[in-house]
Amino acid sequence: MQKVSAGLLMYKIRNNQLEFFLAHPGGPFWKNKDDGTWGIPKGEIHDSEEPLEAAKREFKEETGITPKEPFISLGEITQKSGKVVHAWAFEGDWSGLLMGSSYVTMEYPAKSGKTIKFPEIDKAGFFTLEKAKKIINPAQYELLLRLKDYLKL
């Protein structure tokens, strides 16, 4: 069965330049990986949940930031894994503190019998299109271009 997620792309305009809020996944697997690993805060849609509501819930859980209307539909993309991601954008800012409440528990090291708990996101920030292109999941880069076109920047 195909996995479907929903997420939000927060943006701001600083010095007449569009900047995108991206997040880096937490945990030992992602610790020393950077290029191609960042993305928009997103998560799976619960049964009977509207995709935009799921996107707002996931964004708040993962970052601690309450997203604000209006939301700009960016459509959907399909990642290399086959996961479909529905996305919206909104204008906002960030204090620099991640206050997410979303954690993952997993066995680590593998087959050790020990479990660790870590935040889904371990760092985040605003990036220009040029920098974002280097670090974002390649499939999600299309979302940045769609927002840029929509804003005519």
pLDDT bucket at 153, cuts 50 / 70 / 90? confident
Most confident residue range from 31-35, 92-96, 121-125, 132-136: 132-136
Pair 125, 21: CB distance under 8 Å = yes
Give the model confidence (pLDDT) of 80-103 as tens digits. Answer: 999 999 999 999 999 877 776 676
Which residues span the domain enclosing 135? 4-151
What's the rounded Cα separation, in Å, for the pair 100 and 36? 22
Pair 32, 67: CB distance under 8 Å = no
Higher pLDDT residue, 110 or 129? 129
* pTM, entire model: 0.88
Is 105 exposed, middle or buried, given 0-12, 13-18 or 19+ CB atoms closer than 10 A?
exposed
Q: What CATH number should be reported for the domain holding residue 10?
A: 3.90.79.10
Element (H, E) at 54: helix 51-63
Pair 116, 106: CB distance under 8 Å = yes
| Average pLDDT, integer, range 95-113 | 77
pLDDT bucket at 66, cuts 50 / 70 / 90? very high
| Average pLDDT, integer, range 105-120 | 79
Our count of domains for the chain comes to 1
Higher pLDDT residue, 104 or 46? 46
